[in-house]
Amino acid sequence: MKRFSKLLSIGGICLILHLAIATQAHADTSLLHQTSSYSLLGAPTVSVPLINRVLAFYHSPAAGKGQALFDDGVKYGVDPVFALAFFMHESSFGTTGVAQFTLSLGNLRCISAYSCYNGFSSFPTWEAGFDAWYSLIRVVYVDTWHLSTVEQIIPTYAPASDHNDVAGYISALESAVDTWRAGQIAEFGSVHQVPTVSSTPPVITPTAVGPTANTTRTPYPADQYSILGKPSVDGAFINQILTQYHSPAAGKGQLFFAEGVKYGIDPIYALAFFMLDSIFGTEGLSLATHSLGPLPTPTTVTCHCQDFHGYRRYATWDASISDWFQYIHDDYVKQMGLTTVSQVVSIYLKTNDTSAIRFTIKQIERRVDLWRNARAQTPSK
């Protein structure tokens, strides 16, 4: 299986990009067109206004760039609805992870024509990042490797060997495509309506902020999900979850458990935040920071971490896990008296978007319920 995906060599991608200019993107590809409704090839199935509404709804830093995303799709013969779907899955439309700094739609690895930032291509504008992604898909995946559908592309673009959930990635893309083709911004509301929260909208990855940066914000009322208390899961169960998701923190279950006991915080909540923040350290900013949650600087004297563009960066997962529990205990529980999921999330997220806050609260609480039920059904040894 080809494992180049986004990790194409510098020389290779440069050669291919130059080849694209020489041969043109719209060569005859009649044999490549698939009967699947999820073929990336074809005319646009979404409009510029809808693209702009989606980007604006998710507070994307690329908001207003819908025309560029649309025009590049026409240029390369790739339906822009798929570019939008990849953008959503890779970085929540540029709002999380390295895309915040690289302006890259698809988190592409280093290309010789552009600057390199921690192993990723860094573009001068969002428009340049759009064009590079379309060129990669058209010239490499379609014209060179003869892969044109979501089902064909994802196993190579995001292989399981790199700890990706291939089936989940495919499902997320196809669900998003269906949603936008139906004229909706998100799975929980029409483009003409104020959205209401659903259990399965496209992923919104939370980004943490320090309490001192939110002095004007009011926490949500308390709910029944108190983060304080004895552990409701043990270290073995935590390890099972981390291993299942191929987390780089796999094997640290006992540390989660011990730190939870130390600070009086049920470790199941740390696990839930870890999942919502970065799918257990497998994507986004966490890849560079080894952080359980993107905690803000300044760092404290007790934090074994460094500053990384305003976030805490750790040398080990052990340091990150310990610091997360201390941060939540000292800043949220002790300093502000916030002890429930609704209270903590409303300050923890770097957003005033009530739908995003409610969605994250619901997802964390739903995940906690699922794990507690699964733990209760596990026979005791």
Does some domain include residue 370?
A: yes
Total count of domains within the chain: 2
Contact 150, 38 (CB under 8 A): yes
Residue type, 233: V
Q: Which of 136, 161, 190 is the last residue of a domain?
A: 190
If asked whether residues 180 and 275 sit together in one domain, one would say: no
Residue that finishes a domain, picked among 157, 190, 223? 190
Average model confidence (pLDDT) across the chain: 80
pLDDT for residue 31 is more than 60: no
279 shares its domain with 236:
yes
Same domain, 124 and 220: no
- 380 or 65, higher pLDDT: 65
Compute the C-alpha angle 266/272/274, nearest 5°. Answer: 110
Q: For residue range 51-96, what is the model confidence (pLDDT) as tens digits?
A: 999 999 888 999 999 999 999 999 999 999 999 999 998 888 998 8
Q: 3-state class of 216 per DSSP?
A: coil
Let me know whether 186 and 294 are in one domain.
no
State the average pLDDT over residues 260-279. 93
In this structure, how many other beta carbons lie within 10 angstroms of the beta carbon of residue 160? 14
For residues 293 and 223, state if they share a domain: yes
**195 belongs to a structural domain:** no
Cβ atoms of 63 and 99 within 8 Å: the answer is no
Best CA proximity match to 296, nearest among 249, 328, 269: 328
What is the pLDDT, as a whole number, of residue 310? 79
In whole angstroms, how far apart are CA 343 and each of 122, 211, 220, 299? Answer: 36, 12, 5, 23
CB-based contacts of 1-6 (< 8 A; 24+ apart in sequence)? 1/155, 1/156, 1/159, 1/161, 2/145, 2/156, 3/156, 3/159, 3/161, 3/162, 4/140, 4/156, 5/156, 5/157, 5/158, 5/159, 5/162, 6/106, 6/107, 6/108, 6/109, 6/136, 6/157, 6/158
- 205 in any annotated domain: no
Does a structural domain hold residue 204?
Answer: no
What sign for the dihedral angle of Cα 229, 231, 233, 237?
positive
Higher-confidence residue of 23 and 153: namely 153
Establish if 233 belongs to a structural domain.
yes
Asked whether residue 25 falls in the same domain as residue 109, the answer is: yes
Verify that 15 and 131 share a domain, yes or no.
yes
Q: What would the pLDDT profile of 185-207 be if each residue is shown by its tens digit? A: 764 333 332 222 222 233 333 33
| Tokens coding 204 | 């919104």
- The domain that holds 334 is classified in CATH as 1.10.530.10
165 part of a folded domain = yes
Residues 106 and 228 in one domain: no
Same domain (yes/no): 177, 218: no
pTM: 0.52
Where is the domain boundary, 190, 220, 246?
A: 190
Structural domain containing residue 17: 10-190
Together in a domain, 230 and 128: no
User: Do 146 and 287 lie in a common domain?
Assistant: no
Give the residue-averaged pLDDT of 12-30.
Answer: 39
Q: Indicate whether 196 belongs to any domain.
A: no
Chain centroid to CA 114: 23
Regarding whether 239 and 176 lie in a shared domain, the answer is no
**What's the pLDDT tens digit per position in 272-315?**
999 888 888 877 678 778 998 878 887 566 788 888 877 888 99
* Residue 170 within any structural domain of the chain: yes
